[in-house]
Amino acid sequence: MSNIVVVGSQWGDEGKGKIVDYLSENADVIVRFQGGHNAGHTLVINGKTYKLSILPSGIVRQDKISVIGNGVVIDPWALLNEIEAIKKTGIKISSENLKISNSAPLILPIHSQIDKAREIQRGDSKIGTTGRGIGPAYEDKVARRAIRVSDLKDKSLLKEKVNKLLNHHNIWLKAQNFETLDPENIIANILDISQYILEFADETWVTLDNYNLKGKRILFEGAQGTMLDIDHGTYPFVTSSSTVSGNAASGSGFGLLNISKVLGITKAYTTRVGSGPFPTEQKNEIGNKLGELGHEFGTVTGRKRRCGWFDAVMVKQAIKISGISSIALTKLDVLDKFDELKVCTSYKIGGKEINFFPSCQIDQNQIEPNYEIIEGWNMKTEGISYFDKLPANAIKYIKRLESLIECKINIISTSPRREDTIILENIFN
């Protein structure tokens, strides 16, 4: 058995897309198990860039099966637009290589309307949501109001459920003086595309079980990062789903005991999009330099990412929470032009040193990072694909990170390109 879960171990944007794409060469099935089209992956393959927001990264490999699990919330119009965009690059997509869970909830225009209205109401206390309706869609799932992929099979049931959903949400929108939406328009628009979505509909948990019984290698791909998890992240500045590795099982219907390894993806520094605490953030020339060299803009939103030094406390915590067995370190090359680097080794709150990221929001805002200074290498690592070819100080930096986070780094990325990857251990073996 060799089924692997890939999760982010910071605040997302760690470069999961490239690593999943690289690993999918040795996988048979690639599964997306949570999130929506608020997260994105950028793949650079043979000089061509693919930007994905809801399709699994494995979709660009024609001989692989891609699965969107029940833990994902799906905007059907965004999905179809993405499918068409990828098809135009020459990639073939059909029910043979893309399967969508019948149980996956749909994101409707009412969800985006609510999302944006709430952010307006928050004023200066904005969460930083993308406004794409992901949060409200998950709320409806928990409240047992969701429209699911399987509901598209029955026109009368679909109408009934959409009317009830809109009646519920329009009351709040009207009371807050926001524009309400017409259920008839939404029903008509869904019916126009329902057959295109149903083409990919599948009892995906059965499909995954069958593949597992045949000895196929299954790769589970998470969105965002562990510190954006709804339970274990920097609440309330988090996403609306569970981003930890355990959700790979519940978000796909795949038995937890069938998962053999968890790979955490970690940048060689730290970034964050939107609001929320960020102890190692550099609101200075260092932060600007990291952002410029790392091209730190969101794949989906284009938003500028906040940048800072590597936070070993946070990554170590993510490793423990997600049960990460090894780390893929990305964007090492971004640090090539620094004379010295800093790594956060512990926190100080009110004069007291701690070695974990606190759950209390007040404590989070009072964190002072304790740094260790490490000499930079001022040499080019971009494009290096052998560990012993790295500059000596780059190797020292990697080894020091391993020691601090207490986890082995067995993959190192030195550029966005697929081929610029150092493999110290084949995790599928």
The catalytic residues are: 13, 41
The angle formed by the CA atoms of residues 273, 278 and 283, to the nearest 5 degrees, is: 80
Q: Which two tokens stand for residue 18?
A: 């490239």
Taking CA atoms, 134 is separated from 74, 138, 159, 207, 227, in Å, by 9, 6, 22, 26, 18
Nearest to 295 by CA among 170, 427, 158, 416: 416
What is the DSSP secondary-structure string of 206-270?
HHHHHHHHTT--EEEE--S-GGG-TTTSSTTSS-SS--STTHHHHTTT--GGG--EEEEEEESSE
Helices (H) and strands (E) in the chain, counts: 12, 18
Q: Is the dihedral of CA 214, 52, 62, 383 positive or negative?
A: negative
Asked whether the bond before 236 is cis by omega within 30 degrees of 0, the reply is: yes
Taking CA atoms, 234 is separated from 127, 239, 256, 277, in Å, by 11, 10, 26, 7
Q: Name residues whose C-beta falls within 8 Å of residue 429's C-beta, 6 or more positions apart in sequence.
A: 2
For residue 151, how far is the Cα from the chain centroid?
27
Q: Name residues whose C-beta falls within 8 Å of residue 24's C-beta, 6 or more positions apart in sequence.
A: 30, 57, 58, 61, 64, 219
Q: What is the b/e burial string over 380-390, where b = at least 16 CB atoms within 10 angstroms of the residue's CB?
A: ebeebeeeeeb
Residue-level length of the chain: 429
**E strands within 303-395?**
306-308, 310-311, 326-330, 340-349, 352-354, 368-375
CB distance 32 to 68 below 8 Å: yes
Q: Which two tokens stand for residue 89?
A: 């690059």
CB distance 344 to 400 below 8 Å: no
CB-neighbour burial class of residue 6 (10 A; exposed 0-12, middle 13-18, buried 19+): buried
